[in-house]
Structure 1
Amino acid sequence: MILSEPEWQALTLSLKVSTVAVVCSLPFGILMAWILARCRFTGKALLDSLIHLPLVLPPVVVGYLLLLGFGRRGLIGQYLYDWFGFTFAFSWRGAALASAVIAFPLMVRAIRLALEGVDTRLEQAARTLGAGRWRVFFTITLPLTLPGVIVGTVLAFARSLGEFGATITFVSNIPGETRTLPSAMYTLIETPGAEGAAARLCVIAIVLALSSLLISEWLSRWGRKKLGEAV
């Protein structure tokens, strides 16, 4: 399958945006999952709902809210631009932010389910032996949660690859800068005579998504097997 230069740009940009989105959101995903799984406090249900809100909101609404918050004249974006000369709007960084927000609930949910499956008696035993909270987390909790972390990471990556609505609303559809695979397909579908190129990108998107799901399943099984051998 021979791709044109714009198609290669869309593919590589999608992989770049998805990777950055997942890597940057993973620490926050683990933190939020731990808070929801282990902490009890007033407003927990509200926090849970806010985290999962992007799953039920139209992606265009998410993109519009990001534009209000992180646009060059947004509530937060104006200070980032005035103080640091940094902006998310109309750049690949904004596409990564939009993808991270949309995929974040999937990541948190997978990690939270894994955390809830960890036997807390193991953590309590470690603390009674003198291990601090951070040591218990990094030596017991996190390794036991590894399959869930892997699944959440790969699912978030796959979701980021397919993100369209929030991205095009927040950062537009700029060739070589914010035109990811879905945006490129949207452009090609509206271009007369470009059906072949759109079909090629469609096949690539399907292969990438299917590969991500298969890798997620394999890594999850591998992680459970390693944990079983360790135990």
Structure 2
Amino acid sequence: MNEVHLVEDGKAAPKRNPLVWAISGVALVGVAAVLYVIASASFKPHGPADLREFKKGTLEKLDVPAVPRAAPDTVFTSLDGKPATLADFKGRVVVMNLWATWCAPCKAEMPTLAKLQAAYATQPVTVLPITVDRDSDLNLVNEEMAANPPLKAYRDPGYKVSFALEPRAAGYPTTVIYDRQGRERARMSGPADWSGPEARGIVEKLLAEK
């Protein structure tokens, strides 16, 4: 004889088969697991964007480290002598350009850096020219900046930033690109067209990162 349970109207109802309850429980657990996986995938943080796709054109020799490099904490100065470090620009994509007025390739690429800065004037992007020129050449630095607005130059006549990079700068120009967390994501030794689609693609990808 089957066991029965009383329901509210006083009538007897057959007891559910334990096997049915077990199957239902397994099904619910399975659904919960699927939902958890979907939710986890949705909120899983993405790793750094791969910038190697932009190694073409004038950026063919772009160095993209497998692991982002830390920025040096070396102090450089504005043209009026105010100290600054790369940490001051955290939260922005930074295109740091080490250059000098006696470096012809540096001067040749400077207008393209100015165009890059102008293109992102309303976004958190800073093109950061840091000159290694001596005090006696400051008039030449000012002339170069006046010819390439909206760029604003900084100074490092002691080459401290160049030597603090890991690896150190190989020569001039050297351009290092930092993400909004202040990490080095790409580096170019030698001149390039920084107004081209490859440079803008790098900036766009770094801007899109959280």
- What TM-score do the two structures reach when normalised by structure 1? 0.23
Larger radius of gyration: 2
Larger strand percent:
2
Larger helix percent:
1
- What TM-score do the two structures reach when normalised by structure 2? 0.25
